Amino acid sequence: MILLDGKKTSNDIKDEIAVKVQELKAAGKKTPHLAAVIVGNNGASLTYVNAKVKACERVGFDSTLIKLPETITEEELLSKIEELNKSTEVDGFIVQLPLPAHIDEHKVTLAISPYKDVDGFHPENLGRMVLDLPTFLPATPYGIVQLLDRYDIETSGKNCVVIGRSHIVGSPMSILMSRNNKVGNCTVTLTHSRTKNLKDITKEADIIIVALGKAEFLTADMVKDGVVVVDVGITRVDDPSKKSGFRLLGDVKFDEVAPKCSHITPVPGGVGPMTIASLMMNTLQAIENRN
């Protein structure tokens, strides 16, 4: 069994980006600038956003963290987004999800300029992805594609099962795995909460991408020997033995599934760091597009 090490791979990608940033700076060009907007004080969201800002520092990007109160109105948030759309300083930005219930996430996603949408959630960018045109790929699926690519996982002609059909992970992932690309050319089955006999489907899979947000959902009896498993799930469970008071669990029962796998991602240290690396790649792409 080979561990798909997202931490190491994301560090390799960040090293490559850092070199490109140095080249831009040496040529007197603008330093890439990523802004992140966070609304409220959700602990997990704050952790993710801080990790993104830290990654910017690591690769030499400029970064701005915009913290807005939970009580901000939708109109105020939209006007902040308009400001970022128009900014000549900021090349790309993200609005960390989830947002408070009184704010319409779809409206927010639509308000972000597709040229600065480095999370790749705007319908225009998702549409370009479907058409295989240059775009910002959604950060998590893009990270998974990078990981499979850099570990030279053969995907062509394989049966790939995606569990979960969210707009940010499962659905785009299913499209990317079916495209005619080096990582792609799979026969994809997209499964979800209404899928019947899931185990019969996963047992036929050569590659399983699990993104449903239920800790340790995928068990050993659901997979065949030699499968490639990508675990997207992140669930915080209380753990008084940890300084933070919690630990992270994936959607895969790692200890029993891993021995059956040819390759598997750990949680943490798998897909999470790759998502951040993709965001850095998209931001670099944003400034290259502008230049």
Residues of this chain that interact with ligand NAD (CB under 6 A) are: 140, 163-166, 168-170, 191-193, 195, 198, 211-213, 232-235, 271-272, 275
CA distance 20 to 27: 11
Closest CB to ligand NAD among 91 and 251?
A: 251
Say how many C-beta atoms besides its own lie within 10 A of residue 183's C-beta.
20
Catalytic residue chosen out of the listed positions 52, 80, 116, 253? 52
Is 285 one of the annotated active-site residues of the chain? no
- The residue (of 62 and 105) whose beta carbon lies closer to ligand NAD is 105
Active site residue 22: no
Contact status, residue 145 vs residue 176, Cβ threshold 8 Å: yes
Helices (H), 67-162: 74-86, 105-111, 123-130, 139-150
Name the residue type at position 182. Answer: K
C-beta closer to ligand NAD: residue 143 or 287: 143
**Cα–Cα dist 279/102, whole Å:** 27
Question: What tokens does 46 get?
Answer: 């704050």
C-beta closer to ligand NAD: residue 169 or 208: 169
Whole-number Å distance between alpha carbons of 82 and 161: 39
What minimum distance in Å lies between the beta carbon of 259 and ligand NAD?
Answer: 23
The residue among 80 and 165 lying less far from ligand NAD, judged by its C-beta, is: 165
Check if 52 is active-site.
yes
> What tokens does 51 get?
């990790």
Let me know if 201 is exposed, middle or buried by CB neighbors in 10 A (0-12, 13-18, 19+): middle
Instruction: For ligand NAD, give the closer residue by CB, 169 or 186.
Output: 169
| Range 37-68 burial, b when 16+ CB lie within 10 A, else e | bbbbebeebeebbeebbebbeebbbbbbbbeb
Q: First CA to last CA across the chain, in angstroms? A: 43
Please tell me which residue in 5, 91, 117, 119 is annotated as part of the active site: 119
Cis? peptide before 268, omega within 30° of 0: yes
**Whether residue 266 has a cis bond before it, omega within 30° of 0:** no
Write out the catalytic residue numbers: 52, 96, 119
